[in-house]
């Protein structure tokens, strides 16, 4: 990774989502579940993984809360995106392509 002169590398939390210390699961288990929740919300899970997420959402208060949170965030972002003008959306898409290349669509 290249850094500009004067920039320092920032320490980041490798985890995703929010781990709750009172969860009955380990931090690693929670992070794996949160990753699966994101894929589930994107419609990318199939078979056993999809059934596991559906079961945990029904049976685990912590998983259900994280699912609800992630879903609300996605809905908020979708509504916010739709409120932007098409010109603004085009500018954002152009910036993303410049940063991440043509695959940033």
* pTM score over 0.75: no
What is the C-alpha to C-alpha distance for residues 42 and 77, in angstroms, rounded to an integer? 14
* Domain total of the chain: 1
- Kindly state whether residue 11 falls inside one of the protein's structural domains: no
Query: Whole domain around residue 89: which residue ranges?
Result: 27-104
Radius of gyration (Cα) for the chain, nearest Å? 18
- How many angstroms from the chain centroid is the CA of residue 1? 23
- Kindly state whether residue 3 falls inside one of the protein's structural domains: no
What is the C-alpha to C-alpha distance for residues 23 and 4, in angstroms, rounded to an integer? 40
Q: pLDDT tens digits for 35-93? A: 888 889 888 989 999 998 999 889 888 888 888 988 998 888 888 777 777 788 788 88
Q: Residue 3: its pLDDT value, please?
A: 36
- Kindly state whether residue 85 falls inside one of the protein's structural domains: yes
What is the C-alpha to C-alpha distance for residues 13 and 74, in angstroms, rounded to an integer? 22
- Kindly state whether residue 17 falls inside one of the protein's structural domains: no
Is 41 within 8 Å of 70 (Cβ atoms)? yes
Is 66 within 8 Å of 33 (Cβ atoms)? yes
- Kindly state whether residue 6 falls inside one of the protein's structural domains: no
- Kindly state whether residue 13 falls inside one of the protein's structural domains: no
- Kindly state whether residue 4 falls inside one of the protein's structural domains: no
Q: Is 71 left (phi over 0), alpha (psi -120 to 50) or beta?
A: alpha
- Kindly state whether residue 53 falls inside one of the protein's structural domains: yes
């Amino acid at each position: 990774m290249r850094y500009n002169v004067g920039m320092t590398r920032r320490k980041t939390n490798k985890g995703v989502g929010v781990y709750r210390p009172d969860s009955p699961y380990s931090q690693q288990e929670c992070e794996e579940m949160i990753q699966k929740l994101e894929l589930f919300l994107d419609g990318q899970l199939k078979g056993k993984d999809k059934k596991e997420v559906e079961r945990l959402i029904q049976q685990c208060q912590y998983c259900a809360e994280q699912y609800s949170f992630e879903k609300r965030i996605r809905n908020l972002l979708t509504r916010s995106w739709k409120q932007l003008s098409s010109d603004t959306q085009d500018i954002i898409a152009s910036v993303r392509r410049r940063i991440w290349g043509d695959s940033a669509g």
